[in-house]
Structure 1
Amino acid sequence: MTRRLTSSLSHRSSSSDNPKRKLDENGVENLLLPKMKRHEVSAESSSGSESTRLQIFVRMMSGGKTTVIHADKNDTVEQLHHRIELKTKIPAKEQRVIYKGKQLQLEHSLSYYSIEQDSSLHLLGRMQSTEHPVAWRTVDDIMYAVSRMLRGDWFVSVNNINDILVTFFDTMPKKATCEYLEIFLNSSVPAALVMLFASPLETNKSCAKSSIKLFFDSCIDLPDHQQRCFLPVVLEFFRLLRKVCPRNKLYVSCRNTLGSVLESVYSSGESRSCLLSIGDEIFPCVRELAKLMVKQLVDDDDDSGPPSSCDVQKVSSFWLPLRYSIQNQAETFTLIAFPLQNNVQGKLYHIFEKLLNAMGKGMSRLESILARRGAVSAKCSHYLAILKIVSSMSELYQGGKERVARLLSSRKASFGALVLKFAKRGDDDDHQWIFEYKEATTFESRRHLAMLLFPDVEEEEEDYEEMHEMLIDRSNLLAESFEYITEASSEELHGRLFMEFKNEEATGPGVLREWFYLLCQEIFNPQNTLFTRSADDFRRFSPNPASEVDPLHLDYFEFTGRVIALALMHKVQVGVLFDRVFFLQLTGKKIGLEDIKNTDRIMYNSCKQILEMDPECFDSDAGLGLTFVSETEVLGKRETKELLKDGKSIAVNSKNREQYVNLLIKHRFATSVSEQVNQFSQGFSDILADTACFFERLYVEDFDCMLGGGDNLISIDDWKAHTEYNGFKKTDRIIGWFWKILKKMTEGERRSVLFFWTSTRFIPVEGFRGLSSKLYIYRLHEAKDHLPTSHTCFYRLCLPKYPKIGLMEKRLRLIAQDHVSSSFGQW
């Protein structure tokens, strides 16, 4: 154990201090003092008579230097300690005053010890034991250097203090960071450095600025787990600098450092408890930064951009800890409404209103830009981050969420454009708040956010080592595809798929699109008993409760989940739609009566009738005679299931009929196919881990468009507008013939031609502009009676220069046949 002086100031102070030195107008020299009444530390006591005035010589035990103190016999020893502090800059808690070999106790007066005029007292530092002697020594060295500079010692330079700070950080052990910083704080080093910065001498100010910034920089460079220990010290610097120089760049630097440390503390859940008591102290930071952000948002000058990423991040770094403090400080948190309370939550409401109004103006301006240019300016890249902060603030106030929802709904176009332009893969946590305002989003923005959950597949890359290769026989498409997909690991399927049909030369994305389409036609073929087709829409399917006739049916549902996820990941429209109840099961939502309307219209009408019957009639002898059982027919066999225990003996009446209907729907559309849905979800999650999150981000209509494509008739004009030519001109006679023939075809024939051309039978909901590329018609320099060919990967249709329109029509109608349209594709 080492015994030592806690402050070397006690043995290094100089009697050269000018006893006539005055406090500056800000009382800067009082920064090191504890809170106390000013009259208690006055350099000249006016309370005593001339006969009780004393002049005392206080001698430092180390160095032999002496300073003169004026006091009164009736003053307490505690008051004497504070007078000594004013003259020597030695904190009172670090002092021991000795007279005639005895230590003077704080509560006694000077007269109690018979201290007379011109008495000599000795000043000692308090002796303490410590397990961190290096920390104490470096802290003492800093305090000594500051003391010398405050007394005008020109031999002390900025390098002296900076070198000591570097040593402090270099010797600070990782496991004792908090203990070292506690020594730093308890020794009043922050106050001493700020006092030095407030000095009228430019040399002192420059030295202090350099040292304080060095401390901040060293703090930021440390790992997060060490950085969190700096919060009390940085907060102390912040308090002091805000009093002394709130408009100085050093204060701004301190505020930024505090924000960074707070962000580190907030991100560590186990360290957050220390934030509960500092809400009042960090609120001014949110107010200052938000004020700057509002000014930038409402500025109409196109040359001055909106808040930068750095500006928004600064607000967020203070806002999240402040919100945590507000919501967790009280035992029960309650939303407040206007008129507001005069606390932090109440004051924050004005910031919320100003930011909300500023964002309204900014988004209004953005919609004007969209109307003129059709694109979002890069200057608006941080609007989403600001809206996230505003949304988070709204959670503290009654009606706050509704106000944000009204703003976003009124600016749906700009909100959707911001999501499409600036929501990126990799920052998914920042996107979830958007779905609190799902009604204000557009289909394009919801689709974009849902697709960000998938791994990125770059079709342009030719990294064959990362590909999952498949060689499939068309005649055994389902079985061989099942084998290739189920035996692959999730990691293998996250890369690109390389697809090739046996005995065919064609490869590439076009063949992959064709494989997805043909495979889904097989999977969802009702003859395979996996899925049943909707009576109202031949493209819409749901799991078949009777699928268990196939012993491998659950494996095939898992396989189907993988295939559908892969099709979505590769942005392939396979022409298959999911029934509403199937979609709701994948989101984990409860299925209600209205949800089954288009799935089973007979059951829907029956349940509707049960719920709407007159209660008296329902309970009379003429009632329906129902009990809590479900009767279904599976593969021609009648099956009965009880919906409740002893359900056969429980009659359905007007009071429990709603329960009966709910149980009936649950059994028919959830329980009976729960295993199939679970296996499908498992397969889907092999490709996309958060399956429920994906489906929650979409409406069923969105999923229809993503997987099945648009259901509108193909527009020839839209087709022409997105087609370019090579070897032909759009004014050539043969090109005119081509479009004329297409107009004469049926919808099915047109889709077959499109499939032959692109391996896509269903175009995106946006039309041809939603495809990944324009379409091309190339001239084929071969015999003029040959069939067309295609390069489906590049959306190229190759046509000979037919001599007559009749011959051209025969050739096009031949490829428009379903069994032919997939036979001529080339890489």
Structure 2
Amino acid sequence: MSSSAPAALVMLYASPIKVNKEFGESSVKHFLALIRNSLHKPLNNQYAPMLLEFCKLLRRVGYEDPLYVSCRNALGSLLENVATSNSHGSALPDNVKELIGVQEIFPFVSELSKRLSRDLVSSMELTGCVGPLGTDVRDFAAFLLPLCKAITEQVAFKDGTGYKHPLYGEEIEFLHRIFLDLLYRMDQCLHKMEDHLTGKGKGDSDGAQTRWSQYLSILKELNIISKLYEDAEERFWAVLQLRRSSFCVLIVKYAKRSDDNQWILKHKDVLDFESRRHLAMMMFPEVKEDYEELHEMLIDRSQLLEESFEYIGRAEPESLHGGLFMEFKNEEATGPGVLREWFFLVCQAIFNPQIALFLACPHDCRRFYPNPASMVNPMHLDYFKFAGRVMALALMHKVHVGLVFDRVFFQQLAGNSLISLEDIRDADPCLYNSCKQILQMDAEFIDSDALGLTFVREIEELGSRTVVELCPGGKSIVVNSKNRGEYVKLLIQHQFVRSISKQVEQFRDGFGDMLCKPNDSGLNVVSKTCLLTSFFQSLELQDLDLMLHGSEGSLNVEDWKAHTEYNGYKENDSQIVWFWKVSITSGSLFFQ
């Protein structure tokens, strides 16, 4: 740097003399290769100023110049690595501030936003034009990250008179214009997508879908920018609500396991069932078909629950993250059908009332929640953890098990321990009606102590009856018209939260074992809990019902046929034609 080596090399690269140009280009590329292959991360502090210098000089050669683009890519990657390695705090790391200032970052953001805007326009055209390039989107995200963090530091600082005057006023204003422009372009693109999805669009459908591949990544960056400006976030999600159908298609087609999808999960109201299910399922590791990594089980039907517990409950979580191979003793059948049968049978056994782990809702025997008296089984907590693993594995392997969770159970799996009166309607209709009556009774009647209620709850376990105080000194607190709401709240909390908290905790722990991916087996308890909570919060109860139980309607044979993959057969083979003919003719009766 002190010898102006970057300027000399760029001068050679810009030379009309071929040998000089080649020497300058090879030297800069050699430098870029050293950065990419360097294992010494502390050297990033020295690389960044040189990369920035190369970018400034090469920008004069041309924004489209391939060597300039390579240097810009390298600088973006370096800044992204430094910023993400310090992402535990919201402030911009000091070493990034020292490496490159906001005023120097902003020209890259401005330049890349113009490219993205131009490419979004071209992606709507009916020609063979491609949409935004993945490299441009990644570069835009890389430079945007430190810029947004720097702006957040300034704008978020408050003194006694209001917000401090921002240091980067011009940049903040221009970034807002970038946001509005790209959001407008994305709105147009999503509207164009809807035309293609409904058959109104013209042109090559496959080519159109190729142009959609970067839309979701751009929306993610716009969501980040929207948090910096008043009303911008509402505007952003209003657009996605309006373009809900195309947004959901983007999620199902292009959201990946390696992506951070939390920004979407926080707004599940703009999603449909398929997109919510897709995001939730990606929290599981991908089921592998490699026979060397299968978890093999050989189970005696007469000892189904006990032996299944040994194979699943005692296994290391990582060994269950691949595929499962299931075989019943003294039976020749193997394969996916046997595995599905095992899942169904073991789930029926776990939720069998005689096991006393779960209780069925009185008016819906397929819906369950943990039994407060499950301790009659000495190993009940181990079995709750086992149950969590089995249910998670059933979801991983996309097997319907014929049963679902009650709302009081689902709410706690999602991290919500504040159970309302309406939440217990199905779990305990008698208690629901009693509490409803207490809340609606005449105030004078309640205050007369005609009901004789105090802040206690009577529990019958193992043939004996015990009285538990709902709060300190509850035996001496009479229920009246003023405190009856609190009484009902504490009664519900004790029966449906406190009394089953250990059971829920163990189930969550077992379920969470399956959510942790193989390379994340060292996740701490906090991270594991957050991942588990995100899974259930990303779904509605009805979504989980469909994933565990399936649709209540008859099987749609045409839809089944449209989504069938053939292995060793072709669609027009005689046997396949006969199969579909019989299936369609027989209808749902064929599958009873």
Q: TM-score, normalised by structure 2?
A: 0.82
1:18 alignment partner in structure 2: none
Give the Cα separation in 2 of the matches to 1:331 and 1:364: 35
Aligned partner of 1:285 in structure 2 is 108
Matched, 1:260 2:77: yes
Q: Contact 1:275–1:324 (CA<8 Å) still a contact in 2?
A: no
User: Which of these residues, 337, 342, 352, is aligned with residue 515 of structure 1?
Assistant: 342
Partners of 2:25 and 2:584 lie apart in 1 by 76
Give me the whole-angstrom Cα distance separating, in 2, the residues matched to 1:721 and 1:198: 57
Tell me the distance in 1 between the aligned counterparts of 2:85 and 2:310: 45
Query: Aligned pair 1:415/2:247, yes or no?
Result: yes
- For 2:38, which of 222, 228, 231 is the aligned residue? 222
Q: What's the counterpart of residue 651 of structure 1?
A: 478
Task: Verify: 1:605 aligned to 2:426, yes or no.
Answer: no
Candidates 209, 213, 237, aligned match of 1:405: 237
Partner of 1:491: 318
- Shift of the alpha carbon at 1:675? 1.1
Match of 1:391 among 223, 238, 241: 223
* Residue equivalent to 1:311: 136
The DSSP-based 3-state class of the residue aligned with 1:539 is strand
Tell me the C-alpha RMSD between the 2 structures. Answer: 3.6
Q: What secondary structure does 1:638 align onto?
A: strand
**2:534 pairs with 661, 670, 693, which one?**
693
Larger Rg, first or second structure (1 or 2) = 1
Q: Quick check: 402-411 or 653-662, which moved more?
A: 653-662
Q: Which residue of 2 is the match for residue 65 of structure 1?
A: none
Deviates more, 1:256-265 or 1:289-298: 256-265
Cα distance in 1 between the residues matched to 2:11 and 2:476 = 87
Contact 1:228-1:264 within 8 A present in 2 as well: no
Q: 1:717 to 1:494 in 2, by over 3 A?
A: closer
Q: How does 1:251-650 map to 2 (within 5 A)?
A: 252-269=69-86, 272-276=93-97, 278-299=101-122, 300-301=124-125, 302-329=127-154, 332=157, 342-372=169-199, 377-425=209-257, 427-428=258-259, 430-459=260-289, 461=290, 463=291, 465-590=292-417, 591-612=419-440, 617=444, 620-621=447-448, 624-650=451-477
Deviation at 1:503, TM superposition (A): 2.4
Preserved CA contact (<8 Å) 2:131 2:210: no
Write the letter of the residue equivalent to 1:235.
Answer: L
**1:253-306 CA-partner distances (Å, limit 9, x unpaired):** 543343232222212218822334722221121111101101111223231111
CA drift at 1:326: 1.0
For 1:573 and 1:222, locate their aligned partners in 2 and report how far apart those are by CA, in whole Å: 49
Runs of at least 5 residues in structure 1 that lack an aligned partner in the other structure: 1-183, 755-815, 817-827
Give the structure with the larger helix fraction: 2
Cα distance change, pair 506–660 in 1 and its aligned pair in 2 (3 A):
same
Secondary structure of the corresponding residue to residue 421 of structure 1: helix
Alpha-carbon separation, structure 2, partners of 1:297 and 1:623 = 72
* Deviation of 1:475 (Å): 2.5
Report if the CA contact (8 A) 1:628-1:642 is conserved.
yes
Whether the 8 Å CA contact 1:617–1:623 is kept in 2: the answer is no
Q: SS of the residue aligned with 2:365?
A: coil
CA displacement 1:519-564 (0-9 Å, x = unmatched)? 1111111122111111121111111111111112112111111211
Write out per-residue CA displacement over residues 104-148 of structure 1, whole angstroms, 9 at most, x where no aligned residue: xxxxxxxxxxxxxxxxxxxxxxxxxxxxxxxxxxxxxxxxxxxxx
Which AA in structure 2 matches 1:678? E
Give 1:274's aligned amino acid: N
| Higher alpha-carbon deviation: 645-654 or 392-401 | 645-654
Give the whole-Å Cα distance in 1 for the aligned partners of 2:256 and 2:119: 24
CA drift at 1:593 = 2.5
- Are 2:45 and 2:95, in contact at CA under 8 Å, matched by a contact in 1? no
Map Cα deviations across residues 781-824 of structure 1 (whole Å, 9 max, x no partner). Answer: xxxxxxxxxxxxxxxxxxxxxxxxxxxxxxxxxxx7xxxxxxxx
Alpha-carbon distance in 2 for matches of 1:731, 1:622: 74
Matches of 1:192 and 1:655, distance apart in 2: 84
Task: Determine the C-alpha separation between the residues in 2 that align with 1:238 and 1:535.
Answer: 70
User: What is the number of equivalent residue pairs in this alignment?
Assistant: 551
Task: Give the C-alpha shift of residue 579 in structure 1.
Answer: 0.6
CA contact (8 A) 1:276 1:329 kept: no
Which sits farther off after the overlay, 685-694 or 722-731? 722-731
Q: What whole-Å deviation, never above 9, does each CA across 1:626-654 have from its counterpart, x for those lacking one?
A: 33222333355433211211122233444
> How far is the alpha carbon of 1:656 from its aligned partner?
3.9
Paired position in structure 2 for 1:709 = 550
Q: Structure 2 vs 1, CA of residues 236 and 471 (structure 1 numbering), >3 Å: closer, same or farther?
A: closer
Shift of the 282–716 alpha-carbon distance from structure 1 to 2, 3 Å rule, reads closer
* Structure 1 residue 666: Cα displacement: 1.6
Q: Which amino acid aligns with 1:421?
A: K
- Partner amino acid for 2:541? V
Gaps of 5+ in 2: 517-530, 565-570
Q: Give the structure 1 partner of residue 490 of structure 2.
A: 663
Going from structure 1 to structure 2, the CA distance change for 1:623 and 1:238 (only over 3 Å counts) comes to: farther
Distance in 1 separating the partners of 2:132 and 2:562:
40
TM-score normalised according to structure 1 size: 0.60
Question: In the aligned structure 1, how far is the partner of 2:263 from the partner of 2:218?
Answer: 12
SS of corresponding position for 1:541: strand
Shift of 1:715: 5.6
Q: For 1:445, give the aligned amino acid.
A: S
Is the CA contact (8 Å cut-off) linking 1:408 and 1:415 kept in structure 2? Answer: yes
Contact 2:360–2:427, Cα closer than 8 Å, also in 1? no
- Equivalent in the alignment of 1:759: none
Give 1:439 deviation, angstroms.
1.0
CA contact (8 A) 1:276 1:324 kept: no
Alpha-carbon distance in 2 for matches of 1:726, 1:571? 28
